[in-house]
């Protein structure tokens, strides 16, 4: 009887994910993009999907509490994430460039309403997980470490006081040409925190294995340096660091 050679094919290991969660204005978007550039990874801005769904609902006259209709819309969301010639992100919804439009406070508020609906979150789950590709992903959101990528090799929870976050948002909005009022932004951030923290599904909270970083008194460079210190401890990430 001849000995059979059994070839064992190991499944490829999934791409590494760094999850960066936290409330609005904590700086996670900036940190996610800077970190992704340092690692050569892609970025998932999961909040943009909820913002896009809210905008699509507006376009189609779907009410922000119509869970069944929003679930269908979420399942068929016609979105393209592109880059322009300058390498800047461009987001196309149903053929229209909505990159700036989805960043308004109104769309953020509407996003947090649709994001509280369980069927909407379920409908967007796979779409988010599909962003996981080699060489790796930096995922920015509220539930990246707790729900979407529970096996992320590094989980950061970035936070700051509501006042500090509102002030940052105020500056960002003015820079982007939107008008804004600081007291209204503080109220709005508190209301959004309250909705995100107290919703029944995927509430905003640090994963048990997340590293919590309070950025109230830190600049972006300091936060990035602290995150990089954590990245350097993870063997699966170390080798991606670009000098
Ligand atoms: O991060 P961003 O401000 O773009 O998110 C908009 C809203 O989308 C958040 O206030 C939150 O309610 C919701 N969101 C979420 N889960 C995510 C990302 C965003 O519920 N992973």
* pLDDT digit string, tens, across residues 133-143: 999 999 999 99
28 lines ligand 1 (CB under 6 A): no
Phi, psi torsion values for 132, nearest 5 degrees:
-75, 105
Answer whether residue 33 shows pLDDT above 90.
yes
In order of their start, the domains of the chain are: 17-232 (3.40.50.300)
Residue among 47, 57, 114, 157 to mutate when testing ligand 1 (max atoms within 8 A of CB):
47
SS3 121: helix
115 lines ligand 1 (CB under 6 A): yes
108: how many CB neighbours lie within 10 A of its CB?
A: 20
Residue nearest to atom 21 of ligand 1 (CA): 141
Residue among 22, 50, 120 to mutate when testing ligand 1 (max atoms within 8 A of CB):
50
Q: Is the pTM value of this prediction over 0.85?
A: yes
> What token pair was written down for 97?
């460039």
pLDDT of residue 129: 98
Q: For the chain, what percent of residues have pLDDT higher than 90?
A: 80
42 forms beta bridges with 137
Answer whether residue 130 shows pLDDT above 70.
yes
pLDDT of residue 88: 86
Q: Is the preceding peptide bond at 202 cis, omega within 30 degrees of 0?
A: no
Q: 77 near 123, Cβ under 8 Å? A: no
pLDDT grade for 1, boundaries at 50, 70 and 90: low
């Amino acid at each position: 009887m001849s000995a059979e050679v059994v070839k064992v094919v190991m499944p490829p290991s999934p791409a590494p994910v760094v999850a960066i969660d936290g409330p609005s204005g904590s700086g996670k978007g900036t940190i996610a993009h800077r970190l992704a550039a340092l690692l050569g990874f892609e970025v998932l801005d999961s909040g943009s999907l909820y913002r896009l769904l809210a905008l699509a609902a507006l376009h189609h006259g779907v009410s922000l509490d119509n869970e069944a209709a929003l679930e269908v819309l979420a399942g068929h969301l016609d979105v393209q994430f592109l880059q322009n010639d300058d390498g800047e992100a461009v987001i196309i919804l149903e053929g229209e460039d909505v990159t700036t439009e989805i960043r308004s406070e109104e769309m953020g508020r509407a996003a947090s309403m649709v994001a509280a609906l369980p069927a909407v979150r379920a409908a967007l789950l796979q779409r988010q997980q599909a962003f996981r590709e080699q060489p790796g992903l930096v995922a920015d959101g509220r539930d990246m470490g707790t729900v979407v990528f529970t096996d992320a090799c590094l989980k950061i929870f970035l936070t700051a006081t509501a006042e500090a976050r509102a002030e940052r948002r105020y500056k960002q909005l003015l820079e982007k040409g939107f008008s804004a009022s600081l007291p209204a932004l503080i109220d709005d951030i508190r209301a959004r925190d309250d909705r995100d923290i107290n919703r029944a599904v995927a509430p905003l909270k640090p994963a048990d294995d997340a590293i919590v970083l309070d950025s109230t008194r830190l600049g972006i460079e300091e936060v990035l340096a602290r995150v990089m210190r954590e990245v350097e401890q993870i063997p699966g990430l170390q080798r991606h660091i670009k000098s």
